[in-house]
Amino acid sequence: MSDLDFARAQMAVSLGFHIVFAAIGVSLPALMTIAEWRHLRTGDEVYLDLARRWAKGTSILFAVGAVSGTVLSFELGLLWPRFMEFSGAIIGMPFSLEGFAFFTEAIFLGIYLYGRNRVSPRLHFASAVAVSVSGAASAFFVVLANAWMNTPAGFQLRGGVPVDVRPLRAMFSPNAASEVIHVLLSSYLATAAAMLAIHAFFLLRNRESRFHRAAFSIAGWVFAVSALLQPISGDFSARKVAQNQPAKLAAMEGQFRTETGAPLRIGGFPDPATRTTHFALEIPHGLSLLAFHDPGARVLGLENFPERDWPDTRVVHVAFQIMVGCGSVLALFAVAWLVKRREPPRWLLKLLVACGPLGFLAIEAGWTVTEAGRQPWTIYGIVRTSEAVTQVSGLRTPFFLFTALYVLLGSVVAALLTQQFVRSAHAD
């Protein structure tokens, strides 16, 4: 592997690790806040206990997410100096605002954790709301920066140098709205699905537990709403990709040739050598209809672009299929939960336990589509990844060191969360 490969691998491992904690940091505070609100409304101590337990999980995962996020911020500067040199003045604002949101979340999380008996109940609840809002804001600003990398805007390019910079226009680039909505919904969906699976597992052992029934209800509603909204946001995102990144769309769909009335491919494995996608189930005119809302629309294939500008369609297509498949299964189970939520049968509880990891699998696959689908560009159409990487050699060493760090952090988190789950098993 070359130094470029090790730099990309290190970013992939770092992002793949961090994105789990970032997603939970967005959504677990929302579940905590709902439980706190239910306690204020009803006075039921079960909701208070639930809010406290979710708060402990939030604090553990927030701490680890802070470490992994800090590592990522350093890696951007150390591994990709050309990217930071080019884009710093353009998208520095969302990065700065993300830091502000992060510290706001930390402050109010401290108030929530240690201020229960020191401030009024309403002020304590307000601190929970602040944690939820600032966590979502942190993700919002980071995703704005990523959306800009996919659809750069807000500047003019003269002699390879960005001039006439307009930071607000750069923040709200053409893909910003679709990407932000999709990422936030996926965070709520993945975390709610995981929480629903945990409490469904305990309900299989004790269906009369008021604690687990309360958690099952709160997590279930967040799960159902986000799971049913996510396909709509996915359609919105796909149409934006079709408009602004046609090569990525072609890679996602295994579309090598330009076609009018292009079919939608389900499954299959693309073969760039023969420029065909083998073993796929094709739905006539499906891609044209979904991407452009016109069954006769013309869809550009990869052959319309220089081969050196192709994403790795094998990685992108398979990851896209995994993401869509997981999302579809979760949406199906969301409907089942809505129908059977009052007295869920054992078969549904077992299926909910089994689908607990699917949300995070979809997130990992979705970010693979986003990042691998933009290749070979770091800033789409402007700065190639090979141009953005550092000239420092020996990048295999930090790759293995940071991978070992993530393994250590992951082991610590697993041990701490296992303790929390064991304690939850004895909750009434």
Per-residue pLDDT tens over the stretch 207-257: 888 989 999 999 999 999 999 999 999 999 989 999 999 999 999 999 999
Q: How confident is the model at residue 1 (pLDDT cuts 50, 70, 90)?
A: confident
* pLDDT confidence of residue 38: 93
| pTM of the shown model | 0.93
Q: Is 381 helix (H, G, I), strand (E, B) or coil?
A: coil
pLDDT in tens, 31-51: 999 999 999 999 889 999 999
Question: What are the beta bridge partners of residue 277?
Answer: 270
d(CA 66, CA 59): 10
Average pLDDT over residues 334-348: 91
Average pLDDT over residues 142-156: 93
pLDDT in tens, 152-184: 999 998 888 888 999 999 999 999 999 999 999
Nearest 10 degrees: CA dihedral of 333, 335, 336, 339? Answer: 160
Query: What are the backbone angles phi and psi of residue 247, rounded to the nearest 5°?
Result: -70, -35
Q: How confident is the model at residue 415 (pLDDT cuts 50, 70, 90)?
A: confident
pLDDT in tens, 75-102: 888 889 998 888 888 998 898 898 899 8
d(CA 300, CA 310): 13
Instruction: Point out the least confidently predicted range of 36-50, 380-394, 399-413.
Output: 399-413
Q: Residue ranges of the domains in the chain?
A: 185-393
Q: What amino acid occupies position 60?
A: I
Looking only at Cα atoms, what is the longest distance across the chain? 70
* pLDDT confidence of residue 57: 83
* pLDDT confidence of residue 427: 58
Q: Are 220 and 342 in contact (CB under 8 A)?
A: no
Average pLDDT over residues 255-264: 92
Q: Are 363 and 188 in contact (CB under 8 A)?
A: no
